Amino acid sequence: MRTHLPESWKIKMPATLLTPRAPSLRTANAVEQFAMDVREGLRKFPKQLSPKYFYDAIGSALFDAITLLPEYGLTRADERLLRRNAEPLALRLTPDLIVAELGSGSGRKTKPILQAISELQGPLTYYAIDGSSAALQRCSHELAGVPGAQVQPLECFYEEGLERIAEYRSRRERLLVLFLGSSIGNFERDDAAAFLAQIRKHLQAGDALLLGADLVKPRHQLLDAYDDPAGVTAAFNLNLLARINRELEADFNLRNFSHEARWCASERRVEMHLRSLTRQAVSIPGAECRVSFEQGETIWTESSHKFTPSELSQMAVRAGFICEAQWIDQEWPFAENLWIVE
Ligand code: AVI
C-alpha cells in the first residue's frame, strides 16, 4: 500500500517512514496483541473483548450485511445525509482542501463528498486511512472513477496517518478529516472526548472535521437494530469467538453462547454481550490460558453510544472546535456534524 504514497512524500519523508513493515513481522505482532487482549479481557469481571476484533474478513462481510438490514437504519441515514448535503458542505469549506478519512471502509459514502468538493475546487487528494488492506483496496476501487480525486491509501493507525499528513502537507493546504458511520459511538464517552481532542491537535486554523453520529431513539428500535430477527448481528457477535478459535486455536463451542443486546438508558448506549448458556471451560492455547464460565455469565463485546444533537455541539467545543453546521436525518435520527478550527 505504501507504494501509493505521493511523489512529494517520497522526497520529503525520511526513508524509515516509507519502508513498509515486513508483513510477517506485522502479522506476528498483530496476533501477539490479539492474544494479549483476549487473555486480559477474559480475566476481567465482567469478561470483555474489544470490538476492534470484530472486523476480520468474515466479521467485515457480516457488518456489510448488517448495513443492509431493514432494522439497522444507521448506515442508510449516514449515506442519505452525505448525498443530500454534499454541496452545502463543500460550499462551507476553505479552498486548497485535502481530505483524510479515518476508517475509510468501502469508500461508498465518501463518493458524493469528494465529487462535490472537486467540482467546486478542482482536483484534490483523498487519503484513506485504514488498518485493513482489503478495505483500502475496495475503497481505491470504489473511488477510482471520481473525476479529480486522487486516492492515497495509508495502511496504518489513524493517529499515525494523521501525523504523517499533518507533517508533510504544504502550508497552504487545508485538511478535512472524515470520521463517519458513528464509529465515535463505539468509544467510551471519555475516550471519545480524548480521541477528538487528539484529532484536533493535528489540525490548524481553517481545517475541519466531519463527524457522523447516531442519535438517541426509542429503545425498541435500537434493540431491533442490534438484535435483528434474521440473526445477522448475532452471527457478527459470535464470530468474535470463532475468530479466537481460528487464530488462537481455542475450543469455544459457539452453540454454548447466545447473543444479547441491551439498552442502558443511563449511559445512552446499546451494549452487546455473549451469554454462556452453560457452565463450561474453554482452552485458548494461542493466548496461553484456560477460561471458566458460569452458566449465564457474559462477555461484554461492544458499546454503541447514542447522542443528542446538543451534546454533539458541546463535544465540539470541549475538543477545541466550532460547530459550523449540523445536518439531521428525519427518517433515522442521525447527525452529520461539521466542526471547524478557527
Ligand atoms: C461500526 N459501528 C458504528 C457499528 C455500531 O452500530 O455501533 C457496529 C455494529 N455493531 C452491531 N451492529 C453494528
Measured in Å, residue 173 CA sits from the centre of ligand 1 at: 33
Consecutive sets of 10 residues in the chain, 342 residues long: mean pLDDT of each? 32 32 61 97 98 94 96 98 98 96 89 96 95 88 92 92 92 97 97 97 97 98 98 98 98 98 98 98 98 98 98 98 98 98 96
Amino acid at 57: A
Alpha-carbon gap, residue 64 to 73, rounded angstroms: 13
Q: How many CB atoms lie within 10 A of CB 7?
A: 7
Alpha-carbon gap, residue 332 to 214, rounded angstroms: 9
Report residue 241 as a C-alpha cell.
Answer: 469467538
Report residue 191 as a C-alpha cell.
Answer: 475516550
The whole-number pLDDT of residue 2 equals 32
Query: Which of 54, 60, 64, 66 has the most ligand 1 atoms within 8 A of CB, as the residue to mutate?
Result: 66
Q: How many CB atoms lie within 10 A of CB 71?
A: 17
The whole-number pLDDT of residue 115 equals 96
Nearest-CA residue for atom 11 of ligand 1:
226
Question: Alpha carbon of 213 to those of 126, 139, 201, 224, 335: distances in Å?
Answer: 22, 21, 21, 19, 5
The whole-number pLDDT of residue 287 equals 98
Measured in Å, residue 172 CA sits from the centre of ligand 1 at: 37
Helix, strand, or coil here: 6? coil
Query: Which of 60, 62, 63, 264 has the most ligand 1 atoms within 8 A of CB, as the residue to mutate?
Result: 63
Measured in Å, residue 304 CA sits from the centre of ligand 1 at: 7
Amino acid at 84: R
The whole-number pLDDT of residue 145 equals 87
The whole-number pLDDT of residue 83 equals 97
Measured in Å, residue 168 CA sits from the centre of ligand 1 at: 33
Contact 227, 233 (CB under 8 A): yes
Nearest-CA residue for atom 6 of ligand 1:
304
Q: Which atom of ligand 1 is nearest to the CA of 74?
A: 6
